[in-house]
Amino acid sequence: MTSDRRRAGLLVAPAVLFLAGFFLGPLLLGVGVSLGHGPGGTPGFGQYTRLLGDSYYWEVARNTLGLAAAVTALTLAIGYPYALILTRAGGVAKTLLLLLVVAPLMVNVVVRTFGWMVVFGRAGLLNALLRGLGLPELDILNSWTAIAIALAHVLLPFMVLSIAATLEGLDPALGEAAATLGADPWRQFRHVLLPLSLHGAITGCLLVFALCMGSFVTPLVMGNNRTMVLAVLVYQQLTVTSDWAFAATLGLVLLALVLAVFWLQARLARRLAA
Amino acid sequence: MNSGWSRGYVVLAGTFILAPLLVVVAVAFTSASFVSFPPPGWSLRWLAKVLADPAFMRPLGNSLVLAALAASGAALLAVPAALALARGGFRGAAEIESFLLSPLSLPALILSLSLLFFLARIGLGGQPIGLWIGHVVVTIPYMLRTVLATYRGVDRSAEEAAMTLGATPLRVFLHVTLPMIRPGILAGGLFAFLVSFDEVAIALLLSTMRTATLPVAILNHIAHNYDPAVAAISLINIALVTVAMLALEFGFGLDRLMLSRGRK
């Protein structure tokens, strides 16, 4: 028994040590840097008071949360019906629907963002359609709307897969039982499917919200200074201003917000379960 | 829900999903010297241009090499761990499993920023190995999850039989365990390869001019010039990934891999 345990330890050790050194270690160092323990820093909470005292950063934080909420709502609205249709399909149709939704997942986010630039650009698809319909052209490439749509596209697969994974696990006999007992399709959905799939929807929302808060490629490429979010600000502090201590502080605030969302969602899930 | 409605819905959702990808494919074949949709005419000039342009081809090579090395590193670290975790029976196994999967739930930008500080501190700032380290960290969870699922799903009594018959642990691993988990290792490896090939945040902060990966090169190109070359290189990127995806689907069954995400 002891030798078994020792062997298990030896098998697990390389991966654990690697992540302790190159994942946990750097994160702790990041906390240290934000507290001024970096090159040229003065130890203390200086970076945090600088951040909290400036209304600009509060506005950026509000924008970040607002964008994530909008993108989550969009992906839920598009993704829930899709997941429902996906799980009810069979055979080839199911494989095709699954391929359709995961294919973009494998197209790089930079490429997908570029695709939306071609859609929303001045000489793009949207304006070609509007011209064809005799409507005035739009210039929305650098707007919150365009960024939210592009991000919803990037994150949709996560929502669909989360909901579909829950729906797949449900026994189809549940719906049939409800039907046998005289429930019409709407009541079957409202009283059987919806409550049971809520868990998947919550997981999907949580995942999309968190991923959206950390996304920076799409808002970086499509946005400008009027559409600033925390992740882009972190990137700018690193590359443009080279202010590592402040970048670390902003990054940790972003992380704290993501963790707060996880915590809220966990509480919500517990209450729903009760 | 009746099937007419769902068919209409799938067409709409499909348009939303495919539109930004199809416009990229169309613009890759434009004859114009600027990005416009629909293209005024067709040509292969932009594809020919990027295929001959080291500013794109070198990052493409970098990406392929990095993805292969990251997937190998993740396999070497995660496969043994997956075996021990699936066998279980030791204290803290569940906690260790959560810890090894935790890089998944951290925003990549935060990890990237922390690694940037850390690598600079230990004297590896701007080194190619730093990029590899970052990509191994983010690919370990994919490798671990796939191999765990495979190993938990197989009948392990053959291992016990081999051991009872006096085979050494190494022989049991090579002749019994490895053949059983090979599909998991291959699928996890391909998954890890794709994750690394696709990764932007870490590559952007930890790569240099010389080690820039393909997504970084495309991002930098978009930042400075908005021309059809981006569409052409994107098309090449899409083609490569499509081949890998088809290999995953026909080799292992995509729905099994994707839909097992939510379950354990």
Note the pLDDT tens digit of each residue in B176-230.
899 888 888 988 998 899 899 989 999 999 999 899 999 999 999 988 888 899 9
Contacts of B104 by beta carbon, 8 Å cutoff, 6+ apart: B138, B141
Q: How far apart are CA B190 and CA B224, in angstroms?
A: 33
CB proximity under 8 Å: B 245-264 to A? 245, 249, 254-255, 258-263
Residue A74 has pLDDT above 90, yes or no: yes
Contact A111 B24 (CB under 8 A): yes
Task: Quote the minimal CA–CA distance from A124 to chain B in Å.
Answer: 5
Write down the pLDDT at residue B223.
85
Size of interface A-B (CB pairs under 8 A): 267
The 3-state secondary structure of B56-81, one letter per residue: HHHHHHHHHHHHHHHHHHHHHHHHHH
**Are the beta carbons of A184 and A206 closer than 8 angstroms?**
no
Q: How far apart are CA A152 and CA A159, in angstroms?
A: 10
**Is the model's pTM score more than 0.95?**
no
Work out the pLDDT band at B34, boundaries 50, 70, 90: confident
Residue B264 has pLDDT above 60, yes or no: no
Residue A232 has pLDDT above 80, yes or no: yes
Work out the pLDDT band at A77, boundaries 50, 70, 90: very high
Write down the pLDDT at residue B73.
97
User: Over the stretch A11-56, which tens digit does the pLDDT of each residue have?
Assistant: 999 999 999 999 999 999 999 888 887 666 677 788 888 888 888 9
Contact A106 B242 (CB under 8 A): yes
Contacts of A147 by beta carbon, 8 Å cutoff, 6+ apart: A67, A218, A219, A222, A223, A227
What's chain A's average pLDDT?
Answer: 87
Measuring CA to CA, how many Å separate B180 from each of A242, B154, B169, B256, B264?
50, 7, 15, 17, 19
- Residue from B12, B16, B17 whose CB has the most chain A CBs within 10 Å, to mutate: B17
Q: How far apart are CA B142 and CA B130, in angstroms?
A: 20
Write down the pLDDT at residue A244.
87
Q: Which residues pair with B30 in a beta bridge?
A: B42
Q: What is the mean pLDDT of residues A215-241?
A: 90
Task: Quote the minimal CA–CA distance from B134 to chain A in Å.
Answer: 8
Write down the pLDDT at residue B262.
38
Cβ of residue B15 closer than 8 Å to a chain A Cβ: no
CB proximity under 8 Å: A 152-181 to B? 153, 156, 161-162, 164-166, 168-169
Residue A8 has pLDDT above 60, yes or no: yes
Closest CB to A22: pick one of B16, B133, B205: B133
Highest mean pLDDT among A111-120, A190-199, B66-75, B79-88: B66-75
Write down the pLDDT at residue A90.
81
Residue B115 has pLDDT above 90, yes or no: yes
Q: How far apart are CA B190 and CA B194, in angstroms?
A: 6
Chain B residues whose beta carbon lies within 8 Å of the beta carbon of residue A245: none
Residue A150 has pLDDT above 90, yes or no: yes
Task: Using alpha carbons, select from A78, A267, A224, A263 the residue that is nearest to residue A157.
Answer: A78
Q: How far apart are CA B24 and CA B238, in angstroms?
A: 10
Residue B12: φ, ψ to 5°: -65, -50
Token pair belonging to B144: 């671990």
Contacts of B116 by beta carbon, 8 Å cutoff, 6+ apart: A238, B125, B205, B206
Q: How far apart are CA B8 and CA B38, in angstroms?
A: 25
Write down the pLDDT at residue B50.
92
Chain A residues whose beta carbon lies within 8 Å of the beta carbon of residue B10: 82, 85, 97
CB proximity under 8 Å: B 163-202 to A? 169, 194, 198, 200-201
Write down the pLDDT at residue A41.
66
| Residue B30 per-residue DSSP state | B
By C-alpha distance, the chain A residue nearest B244 is A106
Chain A residues whose beta carbon lies within 8 Å of the beta carbon of residue B38: 125, 128
Q: How far apart are CA B248 and CA B251, in angstroms?
A: 5
Residue B42: φ, ψ to 5°: -115, 145
Residue A1 has pLDDT above 80, yes or no: no
Task: Quote the minimal CA–CA distance from B164 to chain A in Å.
Answer: 15
User: Over the stretch B70-83, which tens digit does the pLDDT of each residue have?
Assistant: 999 999 999 999 99
Contact A8 B89 (CB under 8 A): yes
Q: What is the mean pLDDT of residues B14-34?
A: 91
By C-alpha distance, the chain B residue nearest A108 is B198
Token pair belonging to B76: 């070497």
Residue B49 has pLDDT above 90, yes or no: yes
- Residue from B257, B258, B263, B264 whose CB has the most chain A CBs within 10 Å, to mutate: B258
Write down the pLDDT at residue B258.
56
- The complex scores an ipTM of 0.86
Contact B21 A107 (CB under 8 A): yes
